[in-house]
Amino acid sequence: MTVPKIGLGTFRLENEVVKTSVTNALELGYRAIDTAQIYGNEAAIGEAIAESSINREDLYLTTKIWVENLSKDKVITSLKESLTKLRTDYIDLTLIHWPSPNHAISVKETMLALMEAKKLGLTREIGISNFTVELMQEAIDTVGIENIATNQIELSPFLQNHKVVNWAKAHDLHITSYMTLAYGKALKNEIIQAIAHKHNATAAQVILAWAMQLGYSVIPSSTKRENLASNLQSTILKLDQDDMLKIATLESNDRLVSPEGLAPEWD
């Protein structure tokens, strides 16, 4: 697995807010940054990285191709624009952000374009995001499992996404969890708070540790330096089997991200 266990998410963070978040994260020891073309923050992230003292080869940058750029004639052009904004010669991981609405552009077309981008050295790895079992199969059929670094999906204690996760595991496809804290809702859960108290940890640390112990990568975001530092400590928290079983009971298929006209038919 090449995708780092923990990285910094930047969804909904823009301008000076995202610059400060990235700067703090890099100073604290984060080395993976997750962004997307649609976030409108690639340029600000590029500034923060350029102003840091971190060597480019020590970073793991992820961006995602927006749905308007999924055709073979736009993937590489749009990726080059992302490279310019991020002030780098290559992306470590480039994902299809969402499957093309109404299958307007086939998974095959976009995956082959991403493979071409990889051959050109524009991206080191490629992957997918918000893909169902059917769509994962299409991606694998096109480029082979060895060329798909991850499927980045919404996954939290309240949406454990078992069908997708189990299928991915059976096919040796890595999962990256986004919205792991469920917009903060999971932090207020009594079971999670009790586990946190038991380990002298924060609720966020418990949730992130839970996801990582299941083998997922996580990309929590924060605008507060103390929360960024605290989240990073989740990598050393070890939950026991009882903790894991208790969190497993919280599954309620509570999906928070399902934009109309964009979301596929979920499993």
> Tokens standing for 211?
């996801």
Is 8-248 assigned to CATH 3.40.50.1170?
Answer: no
CA 166-123-103 angle, 5° bins: 55
Question: Could you confirm whether 39 is annotated as catalytic?
Answer: yes
The mean pLDDT of 66-84, rounded to a whole number, is 98
Distance CA 230, CA 31 (A): 15
For the chain, what is the mean pLDDT?
Answer: 98
- What residue spans define the domains of the chain? 8-248
Distance CA 60, CA 235 (A): 17
Per residue in 200-235, pLDDT (tens digit) is 999 999 999 999 999 999 999 999 999 999 999 999
pLDDT score for 8: 98
Per residue in 122-143, pLDDT (tens digit) is 999 999 999 999 999 999 999 9
Distance CA 230, CA 221 (A): 12
pLDDT score for 1: 61
Distance CA 168, CA 158 (A): 19
Decide: helix, strand or coil at residue 17: helix
Do 138 and 144 meet the contact criterion of CB atoms below 8 Å apart?
no
Task: Kindly name the residue from 39, 60, 178, 216 that is annotated as catalytic.
Answer: 39
**241 has a pLDDT exceeding 90:** yes
Per residue in 2-54, pLDDT (tens digit) is 999 999 999 999 999 999 999 999 999 999 999 999 999 999 999 999 999 99
Dihedral angle sign, alpha carbons of residues 147, 219, 18, 25? negative
Longest dimension (CA), the chain: 54
pLDDT score for 44: 98
Distance CA 111, CA 106 (A): 9
